[in-house]
A and B are shown apart, each in its own frame.
Chain A
């Protein structure tokens, strides 16, 4: 049995010497066990010859019995020694666990190197987030686009008279890019009048712009919307609220 003694280089010198001595004892006992086979064969032949040739066979038989007893004890001793040493060499091997731990260490190192490489690669490929961003309220609307929106609104009004203006404004803004959609111009119809404007004072300084998220608030009755609607559909349908306002305005003129 040849063992690689270089594998014990990472142990202490005393442990390595003990290990070498154990391996040497195991080799010696194994050689003795192999030599015992030929000795037993020779002893059996000698006993047989002595038994056949001697006159006092009982003495030869007794000697043979004693030899067999001693031989059995010796063989069992050798076998036990060899088997115990072999079992110890096989089961009490920490080299595999140490090698496994070393392999795990190498694996961890390689994994850390891969992670480092991935982080460096990602830092190179990452989007540069240093671009300046402005709030949409501070972005100026381009005049050309505003004009085109108005033209589109006029065209749409000429072709199909709208029943309500809320349906046309989003259609005109669909073609805008995303950043322009965020800074879209607020038409006059989307300006929610305050209480002062409802009373007839059309002051633009008091007008509050209505953004996309605040379109729900436009459900408040708007006088301009109702006047506009009465001009187009007013012949057939007039809302009761618009007629009241007209009646009040006529009444105020008569009083004046």
Chain B
């Protein structure tokens, strides 16, 4: 009986160890995927920032051109005698 109880204990311990290893494997998989997700988010942030910076630069250029055009139009409208034939 003692031998049978020892064998069952060993089997239970083996099952528990195997379950523990499976849990560890699952956690490692999850952590790996979370890290990949984090890396993706960091990369996405960088690319998005660069794209937004380029768009901001384009907007700045457009604003400057519009300001220049506004000034030129204001100068042209301030001197209507130039267009009088």
Contact = CB atoms under 8 A, between A and B. Distances in A.
Interface of A: 58, 61, 65, 68, 72, 75-76, 79, 83, 86-87, 90-91, 93, 96, 99-100, 103, 106-107, 110, 113-114, 116-117, 120-121
Contact of A103 (B37, B52, B66, B76): B66
Contact of B85 (A65, A91, A120): A120
Nearest to B79: A117
B30 interface: yes
Contacts of B7: none
B83 A96 contact: no
Contact of A100 (B23, B40, B47, B62): B62
6 contacts: A72-B30, A96-B55, A110-B73, A114-B72, A120-B82, A120-B83
Given A96-B55, A96-B59, A96-B62, A113 B76 contact: yes
Nearest to A86: B48
Contacts of B82: 117, 120-121
Interface majority SS (helix, strand, loop, mixed), chain B: helix
Interface majority SS (helix, strand, loop, mixed), chain A: helix
A96 B58 contact: yes
A99 B19 CA distance: 63
Interface string B26-46: 100010011001001100100
Contacts of B85: 120
Contacts of A65: 26
User: For A68, A75, A83, A87, which residue has the most chain B Cβ atoms within 10 angstroms?
Assistant: A83
Q: Which 7 A-B pairs have the closest CB atoms?
A: A117-B82, A90-B51, A103-B65, A96-B58, A83-B44, A106-B69, A110-B72
A121 B84 CA distance: 10
B83 A117 contact: yes
A58 B69 contact: no
B69 A87 contact: no
Contacts of A86: 48
Contact of B58 (A79, A100, A121): A100
A222 B65 CA distance: 78
A75 B41 CA distance: 12
Contact of B65 (A61, A107, A120): A107
Contact of B69 (A68, A100, A107): A107
A79 B37 contact: yes
A116 B76 CA distance: 12
A93 B62 contact: no
A79 B69 CA distance: 42
Given A72-B34, A100-B58, A106-B69, 9 more contacts: A68-B30, A79-B40, A93-B55, A96-B59, A103-B62, A110-B72, A110-B76, A120-B82, A121-B82
Nearest to A58: B19
Given A68-B30, A72-B30, A96-B55, A114 B76 contact: yes
